[in-house]
Amino acid sequence: MNTPIRSFQIAALGLDLLHQTRLKLASSLLLAERMDVTLAAWSGQRVDLLVLSLDHAASTAALADARALGVPTLLIARRFSATAPGQLPHGATVRDINEQLSTLLLRAPETADVVQGTPLLMQLARHDAQPAGLHLLQRGGMTLLVDPATRSIALPAATTLAEVAAQLDDATWSLTAIDAETFRHQYAYRLPQRHSFEALFFCIARHRPELMPAPAAQASLQLRQWPDLSADDVPGTWLLAIARLHARPWRATALASACRMPQDTVQSLFSAALASGLALTQDAPVPPSPPRAETNDSRFFSWVARRFGLTLFQGAAS
């Protein structure tokens, strides 16, 4: 599975034409590392990185502003005689700039860089949350909309849920409440994709399971309805487990054994069901699964397989 593309926003100030061109080339090369960079002029905004020429007249004030905002910097100056972390001499090559960008954007996050606790998007999307109105979330070059009324999020056409999941716990997400008319006129054409909260939580369970709250170890669980998922949202290996959870209650250990899946994966499914509000939990013991599926279950599982283009019972027939 490919690593999701991460989005970053870089601002620049004081660069001459040569360094501006080299910065653009160096940024475009980051796509090979699954990093999508948007370049902008610096105007005091919060970004992932500021590339600043210390030879520019406004560099001192810009550097102070960046440090006050906690924005990392890549400094270019004639007085630098050699490359150092966060510093490049005047005339730096495309390769020099590319290596610095990669290192600075992907460096290990410090305490202020990572959200402690539940990420903002997950707080807004939880089934027991009651946010009012529409919420615009922005981070670097990524923008999305949370719509509690329809229990969905709106994304740009080229953005996937996996890419959103990759950036969930970043501390630089900003939240803006907007009304329906503002969304319709300013953002609807930019955010044409719609995904349900259910699809979001199952995607997080797949790509970022460490962010999901752990379910109670002994609780049994059943899905109240089939999750609103497409064939691209879940691995084929998850479908049998989801179908069994839809048919009747299970405990995680029993379901993992019945579906021959790692228990950690089943726990992630349970977490997604609980967070999205699809879970019917029971405290009573759940009887062990029968050695053979009943006819009705087989018919239901076969329907699931046809829907997702799989053959779940081929092994049993051979």
* pLDDT score of 312: 52
* pLDDT score of 71: 86
* pLDDT score of 40: 92
Low-confidence winner among 47-51, 67-71, 303-307 (lowest mean pLDDT): 303-307
Residue in this structure with the two tokens 């270019």, named with its chain if needed: 76
In this model, does residue 197 exceed pLDDT 60?
yes
Mean pLDDT of 302-317: 54
Q: Which of 135, 164, 152 is nearest to 36 (CA)?
A: 164
Residue 79 dihedral angles phi and psi, to the nearest 5°: -75, -15
Query: Does the domain at residues 6-106 carry the CATH identifier 3.40.50.2300?
Result: yes
Rounded Cα distance between 135 and 68, Å, is 27
* pLDDT score of 131: 59
Residue with the larger pLDDT of the pair 86 and 114: 86
In this model, does residue 172 exceed pLDDT 60?
yes
High-pLDDT (> 90) share of the chain, %: 35
String of DSSP letters for the chain: -PPPPEEEEEEEES--HHHHHHHHHHHHGGGGGTEEEEEEE-SS---SEEEEETTSTTHHHHHHHHHHHT--EEEEETT--S-BTTEEETT--HHHHHHHHHHHHHSPP-TTTB-SSS-HHHHHHSTT----SEEEEEETTEEEEEETTTTEEEE-TT--HHHHHHTTTBTT-EEEEE-HHHIIIIITTT--EEEEHHHHHHHHHHH-GGGSPPPPTT-EEEESS-----TTTS-HHHHHHHHHHHHS-EEHHHHHHHHT--HHHHHHHHHHHHHHT-EEEE-SPPPPPPSS--HHHHHHHHHHHHHTT--SSHHHH-
Low-confidence winner among 46-50, 176-180, 277-281, 290-294 (lowest mean pLDDT): 290-294
Give Dmax (Cα) for the chain: 79
* pLDDT score of 129: 63
Which residue spans of the chain are classified as CATH 3.40.50.2300? 6-106
Judging by DSSP bridges, how do beta strands 73-77 and 87-89 pair with one another? Answer: parallel
Low-confidence winner among 18-27, 107-116, 281-290, 291-300 (lowest mean pLDDT): 107-116
Q: Which of 208, 37, 162 is nearest to 106 (CA)?
A: 37
Residue 52 tokens, joined: 């600043």
Average pLDDT, the chain: 81
Rounded Cα distance between 299 and 119, Å, is 40
The model's confidence at residue 286, banded by pLDDT at 50, 70 and 90, is very low
Mean pLDDT of 242-260: 92
Mean pLDDT of 276-290: 61
The model's confidence at residue 303, banded by pLDDT at 50, 70 and 90, is low
The model's confidence at residue 50, banded by pLDDT at 50, 70 and 90, is very high
* pLDDT score of 125: 87
* pLDDT score of 215: 73
Q: Are 55 and 77 in contact (CB under 8 A)?
A: yes
Rounded Cα distance between 20 and 15, Å, is 6
Q: Find all residues with CB under 8 Å of 122, minimum gap 6, and list them.
A: 168, 201, 204, 211, 275
Low-confidence winner among 43-47, 162-166, 172-176, 194-198 (lowest mean pLDDT): 172-176
* pTM, 2 dp: 0.58
Mean pLDDT of 144-165: 91
* pLDDT score of 291: 44
In this model, does residue 35 exceed pLDDT 90?
no
In this model, does residue 287 exceed pLDDT 50?
no
In this model, does residue 318 exceed pLDDT 60?
no
The model's confidence at residue 157, banded by pLDDT at 50, 70 and 90, is very high
* pLDDT score of 292: 43
Q: Find all residues with CB under 8 Å of 33, minimum gap 6, and list them.
A: 102, 106
